[in-house]
Amino acid sequence: MNVLIVEDHPIIALGYEILLKRNFSKCSAKNVTNGSDTMLELSAVEYDLIILDIILPETDTHALIHQIRAFSSELPVLIISSCNEQIYARSYLSAGINGYLPKSSSDSNFILAVNMVLKGHIFISKNVFGYDFNNSSDSNPFGVLSKRELEVLKHLLNGLGINAISTLMKLTASTIATQKSRILDKLNVNNMLDVYQLANEYGLLNNGNSKKDKERLET
């Protein structure tokens, strides 16, 4: 089995590789850190599975998934992320991935998820199973956001400005500014500090977000 691990934290990628080699015979793994290198690898090597984070440098993850699906409609893609699955899983599952696993999951759940997507099944954790995505706005305010708005929100929460997001998503700065304005309107908040506080309340933020990150979002 040949696995492409798309993850920009080497220690995490190494952990995945160790678990894979411990549980699957004749398993090899390659680690890349962004969307461009992902597509270069896919064009050069035949892979059986992609393990993908959704926060990557210089990468619009939704666009990357569309590129992967244009390349192969059958290649299993398993997202492993620290982003709140009840908010992001719907968006990425509809984009064509095969599974969504929280980074806080146990080793056994990791192996279970890999086995399921390799067999052609969809994997979601127990926290998401039975969750009514169609009525997600009733349980959290972020359910009203579109796929593009969620992607912009993800980058805003990572501290990127409008120009940086514009470059990353290959959209005009005015389009990103409009998306940001719509996010504020839909969430019924006044500024990015309010968004940050709401995101923290609903578990969208990584534990590593610092006070400095919060101050950066006020502007």
Whether residue 174 sits in one domain with residue 115: no
For residue range 13-66, list pLDDT tens digits in order: 999 999 999 999 999 999 999 999 999 999 999 999 999 999 898 888 989 999
Share of the chain above pLDDT 90, in %: 52
Task: Look at residue 132 and tell me if it is in a domain.
Answer: no
CA 61 to chain centre: 7
Angle at 63 between CA 62 and CA 64, to 5 degrees: 90
Whether residue 193 sits in one domain with residue 158: yes
Whether residue 69 sits in one domain with residue 10: yes
Share of the chain above pLDDT 70, in %: 85
Total domain count for the chain?
2
- pTM equals 0.70
Q: What residue type is 35 in one-letter code?
A: G
Whether residue 202 sits in one domain with residue 156: yes
Q: What are phi and psi of 102, to 5 degrees?
A: -70, 145
| Rounded Cα distance, 104 and 127, in Å | 12
User: Could you tell me the CATH number of the domain that includes residue 94?
Assistant: 3.40.50.2300
Whether residue 204 sits in one domain with residue 176: yes
| Rounded Cα distance, 187 and 179, in Å | 12
Expressed as residue numbers, the domain containing 192 is: 138-217
CA 116 vs CA 27, 28, 110, 217: distances in Å: 16, 19, 10, 39
Q: What residue type is 165 in one-letter code?
A: I
| Rounded Cα distance, 79 and 92, in Å | 8
Which of 124, 156, 181 is the last residue in one of the domains? 124
Task: Look at residue 133 and tell me if it is in a domain.
Answer: no
